[in-house]
């Protein structure tokens, strides 16, 4: 969706092919409203053996100049569908799969072999991903490149909007709001954030808003209920992250592993400083001025960094300014789309 909003301006005409059925999902309709054709292969699973044949049929109709696949299932389907074709394939690596075992590791290695053999370029969304991939999966140094994702600039929000958003969330207008936006699954650091919240004394006036849903939702809500009233708010899945960030004073992202978390890029765009774990591609987003990096898995360091920012509004303002500058320089969506389009033209 982020790319669809800026593709035309970069001279791209997009079509999106989903391996899986799209019935009842919101994103196909949103893409179509943005002028993007959406086609589903209707597979039973991402590894359905009918995938390459159905993909070939779709490609005959779409007649693309470049096919860009995302995640290993699509990489394999597209590579097999393009066998014997001169159409270039571009693949993007969105995750660092360094902890997989068994069947998952076999799938990862299969995709890497296919990708290294067929893809004209493999894009890593961060330099951390590129280093991991070349060390673990091989590949041509000149064909595995780093191209960081971007996001569109958010709408402008004023002080009245900020107060209204907080009222909707049930958060006081005069407290510091620390937001975490992430799917609630192991490894994202929600449990660590709650441990850090428990270490912060009542004199530090901060409310944590944990936005998202997932397998850990019930467990996290149970733990949050043990903390003082008003310390943690859990609004569930949030469709408009930009609106939430407009009411935030800081973003907290204590992940244990992450390639290039979009929530932190959105924080830059919203001029909101971050407290984030020093892992994966996170330092490439935050740099040295847009927030505070802490050791992963350290609840004490996380709590201390949050307290430091909560008690330093001038420092937050300065970091927020630097965050926005960093966004405009490195992560603004139009620039990202232009870099992608230049790559496509080079290969087509």
- Give the length of the chain: 348
Q: What is the model's pLDDT at position 108?
A: 95
Q: What is the model's pLDDT at position 211?
A: 98
**What are the domain boundaries of the chain?**
8-151+332-347, 159-330
**Per CATH, which fold does 8-151+332-347 belong to?**
Rossmann fold (3.40.50)
Architecture in CATH of 159-330? 3-Layer(aba) Sandwich (3.40)
In the sheet that holds 274-277, the strands lie side by side as: 232-236, 206-211, 176-181, 250-253, 274-277, 291-294
Q: What is the model's pLDDT at position 340?
A: 97
**Same fold? 8-151+332-347, 159-330:** yes
**Containing H/E element for 18?**
strand 15-18
Split the chain (348 residues) into runs of 10 and give each run's mean pLDDT. Answer: 94 97 92 95 95 97 97 96 96 94 94 96 98 95 97 93 96 97 96 98 96 96 95 95 97 96 97 98 97 98 98 97 98 97 97
Give the Cα separation of 274 and 323 in Å (integer): 9
pTM over 0.75: yes
Q: What is the model's pLDDT at position 342?
A: 98
Give the Cα separation of 123 and 125 in Å (integer): 6
Q: What is the model's pLDDT at position 157?
A: 94
């Amino acid at each position: 969706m982020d790319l669809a909003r800026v593709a035309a301006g970069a001279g791209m005409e997009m079509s999106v092919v989903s391996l899986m059925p799209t019935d009842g999902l919101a994103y196909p309709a949103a893409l179509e409203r943005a002028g993007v054709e959406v086609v589903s292969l209707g597979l039973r699973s991402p590894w359905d053996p009918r995938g390459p044949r159905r993909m070939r049929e779709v490609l005959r109709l779409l007649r693309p100049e470049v096919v860009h696949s995302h995640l290993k299932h699509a990489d394999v389907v597209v590579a097999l569908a393009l066998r014997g074709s001169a159409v270039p394939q571009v693949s993007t690596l969105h995750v660092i799969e360094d902890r997989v075992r068994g069947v998952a590791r076999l799938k990862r290695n299969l995709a890497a072999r296919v990708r290294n053999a067929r893809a004209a370029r493999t894009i890593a969304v961060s330099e951390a991903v590129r280093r991991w991939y070349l060390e673990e999966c091989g590949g041509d140094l000149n064909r595995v490149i780093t191209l960081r994702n971007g996001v569109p600039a958010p709408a402008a929000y004023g002080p009245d909007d900020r107060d209204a958003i907080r009222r909707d969330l049930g958060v006081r207008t005069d407290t510091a709001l620390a937001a975490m936006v992430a799917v609630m699954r192991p490894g994202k650091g929600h449990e660590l954030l709650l441990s850090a919240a428990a270490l912060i004394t009542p004199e530090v006036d901060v409310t944590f808003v944990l936005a998202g849903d997932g397998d850990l939702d019930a467990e996290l809500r149970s733990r949050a209920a043990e903390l003082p009233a008003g310390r943690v708010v859990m609004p569930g899945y949030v469709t408009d992250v930009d609106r939430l960030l407009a009411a935030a004073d800081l973003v907290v992202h204590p992940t244990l592993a992450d390639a290039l978390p979009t929530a932190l890029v959105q924080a830059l765009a919203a001029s909101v400083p971050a407290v984030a774990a020093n892992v994966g591609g996170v330092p490439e987003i935050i740099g040295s001025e847009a927030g505070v990096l802490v050791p992963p898995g350290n609840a004490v360091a996380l709590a201390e960094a949050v307290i430091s920012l909560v008690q330093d509004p001038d420092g937050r303002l300065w970091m927020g300014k630097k965050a926005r500058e960093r966004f405009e320089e490195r992560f603004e969506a139009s620039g990202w789309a232009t870099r992608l389009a230049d790559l496509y033209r080079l290969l087509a």
